[in-house]
């Protein structure tokens, strides 16, 4: 115990951050040695204005027999897991959501199954230009991919199907504006006629066009 305390002290963990407690018990039966738990002890104010202490956000321990269950070979081991969502919620409550703000997301849709690599290359090009972008991974069609982009709270979707690629163009869909128009437009015919939330641009103008559109909405 003294040796552990000395190692922790040399690593910068003082006695107010590390506590030995013989009553800590992990619920899994494969632990064969010491177990540990990480707790947040500082109070924070949550979204409803209540002051709370989040408590445990992770734990683990020594499990020498675990690997042998799968490989038949005895290997000394230890490990831990973190409650990522719980930890993030605590940090946001403490530092404020603004500290975790990220750049608007651009989702590149993958519609031409014969040119998947081109879609991933397009996403890589956007990231190289300093834009936050990802390409859709999966077998779904356009509607499902747009729903995915909405769930990711993406600002724009980039559409480059077979027809667009043949014309040397890409289509940009402003997802936030499209959602707002869907609420305010009385008829779909009027929306289809104007289509202000969707434009087509030449492939080599994708990056500057996206930057300009993001700049207009305060995200560039």
- Please list the residues that pair with 135 across neighbouring strands: 108
In the structure encoding, which two tokens stand for residue 204, read together? 């080599």
Q: Can you tell me the distance from the alpha carbon of 135 to that of 171, in angstroms, rounded to the nearest whole number?
A: 15
The label of the residue with tokens 């020594």 reads 62
In the structure encoding, which two tokens stand for residue 152, read together? 């990711």
What pLDDT is stored for residue 127 in this prediction? 92
Domain ranges within the chain, ordered by starting residue: 2-98, 102-216
Domain 2-98: assigned CATH number: 3.30.930.10
By the 8 A CB rule, do 77 and 103 touch?
Answer: no
What letter does residue 218 receive in the DSSP assignment?
A: T
- Secondary-structure class of domain 102-216 per CATH: alpha beta
Q: Can you tell me the distance from the alpha carbon of 122 to that of 126, in angstroms, rounded to the nearest whole number?
A: 6
What pLDDT is stored for residue 179 in this prediction? 56
Given a cut of 50, the residues of the chain with pLDDT beneath it are: 192, 195
**Per-state percent for the chain, helix, strand, coil, to nearest 5:** 45, 20, 35
What pLDDT is stored for residue 110 in this prediction? 86
> In terms of DSSP bridges, do strands 78-82 and 55-62 run parallel, antiparallel, or are they unpaired?
antiparallel
Q: Can you tell me the distance from the alpha carbon of 62 to that of 73, in angstroms, rounded to the nearest whole number?
A: 16
What pLDDT is stored for residue 202 in this prediction? 92
What pLDDT is stored for residue 124 in this prediction? 92
By the 8 A CB rule, do 25 and 41 touch?
Answer: no
What letter does residue 97 receive in the DSSP assignment?
A: G
By the 8 A CB rule, do 214 and 104 touch?
Answer: yes
**pTM, to two decimals:** 0.55
Cβ partners under 8 Å of residue 74, min gap 6: 64, 65, 67, 68
**Quick count: other Cβ atoms within 10 Å of Cβ 156?**
28
In the structure encoding, which two tokens stand for residue 102, read together? 């990220």
């Amino acid at each position: 115990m003294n040796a552990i305390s000395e190692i922790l002290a040399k690593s910068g963990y003082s006695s107010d951050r590390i506590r030995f407690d013989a009553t800590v018990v992990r619920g899994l039966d494969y632990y064969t040695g010491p177990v540990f738990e990480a707790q947040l002890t500082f109070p924070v104010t949550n979204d409803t204005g209540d002051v709370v202490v989040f408590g445990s956000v992770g734990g683990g321990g020594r499990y020498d027999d675990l690997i042998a269950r799968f490989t038949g070979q005895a290997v000394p081991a230890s490990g831990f897991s973190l409650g990522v969502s719980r930890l993030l919620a605590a940090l946001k409550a403490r530092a404020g959501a603004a500290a975790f703000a990220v750049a608007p997301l651009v989702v590149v849709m993958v519609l031409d199954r014969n040119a998947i690599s081109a879609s991933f290359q397009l996403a890589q090009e956007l990231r190289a230009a300093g834009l936050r972008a990802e390409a859709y991974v999966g077998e779904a069609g356009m509607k499902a991919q747009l729903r995915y982009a909405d769930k990711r709270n993406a600002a724009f979707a980039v559409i480059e199907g077979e027809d667009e690629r043949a014309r040397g163009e890409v289509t940009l869909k402003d997802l936030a504006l499209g959602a707002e128009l869907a609420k305010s437009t009385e008829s779909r015919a009027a929306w289809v006629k104007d289509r202000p939330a969707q434009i087509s641009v030449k492939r080599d103008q994708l990056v500057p066009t996206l930057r300009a559109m993001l700049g207009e909405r305060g995200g560039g």
